[in-house]
Homo-oligomer: A and B are copies of this chain.
């Protein structure tokens, strides 16, 4: 993900890639051009930490791309903020940190203001499809009674770590055991998306109920790195329901699986608002996950650089847009 972001940043007119940060000691001090095999990166250094990148290369914005959970990401963000850097994080729980840890969100806001920098969590999902885009569509509504959205995507290209956290390849009973012992996670980010939507619409969220069910292959399914025979788990159907005043008003559905096409399941992003007016939006096929996350993180760089100091979520900043590509 870091390499893809670096390649994208190199293409941008208004973003200058001045350094990379890696914990791998054999890379530190080498030239990013050699690592990427990309001459455009010649002269871009690989540093051991954000402080070095800031001091030696004059960085303004750090993009953190290594974690999913808030607990893992906060020390990374703290080190970047301590170096005087604005931070864009693609950790899923950073999309709306108050959802899982209000105290941590206050802390991040405080250190950002003290340092005069902006901290933003983003990504395709959470950060865009199942939260920001929904919020944007409510902008033309007089009244919203309920929100339903689903993202049906294809995990076929992804590698081993994603297969494991989705329980892909397991027997159905192993999937249930994996849920119980925490090795099967499904989607990370639902509480964040639901909370961001509720906050934007002024709904007082009482609780978020989540459900994870195995998608059992009826036919053999093939991904880039795994083949699942019929009867085994091809993915995880993960849903989240947000309750407001006792009623389910936000329902998000995210069945993630390999090769859904093998069983005739098309992929899409769907948003259905009930209210005045009703709105039904569909993007088909679904917006690309990996490219989408890397792109939105880089695209937000100029907006984060220009934003007021503090912890921001996607709904607080000007609308995302392509950062201009060099011509």
Residues of A that sit less than 8 Å from B by CB: 8, 11, 13-14, 124, 128, 132-133, 135-136, 138-144, 200-203, 245, 276-277, 279-284, 287-288, 291-296, 299-300, 314-325, 327
Measured CB to CB, the nearest residue on chain B to A324 is B202
A124: chain B residues at CB < 8 Å are 140
Q: Tell me, in angstroms, the Cα distance from A70 to B284 when the chains sit together.
A: 38
Best-buried of A282, A287, A293, A300 by chain B (most CB within 10 Å) = A287
Q: Report the minimal beta-carbon distance from A90 to chain B, rounded to whole angstroms.
A: 12
Stoichiometry (number of copies):
2
Q: Which of B136, B245, B292 contacts A321 (CB 8 A)?
A: B136
- In the A-B complex, the 9 residue pairs with the closest CB atoms: A202-B324, A139-B320, A140-B292, A138-B322, A277-B288, A200-B321, A142-B295, A281-B283, A135-B321
What is the interface of chain A mostly: helix, strand, loop, or mixed? Answer: mixed
Best-buried of A276, A296, A322, A325 by chain B (most CB within 10 Å) = A322
Q: Are B139 and A136 in contact (CB under 8 A)?
A: no
Q: Tell me, in angstroms, the Cα distance from A245 to B136 when the chains sit together.
A: 31
Q: Are B324 and A294 in contact (CB under 8 A)?
A: no
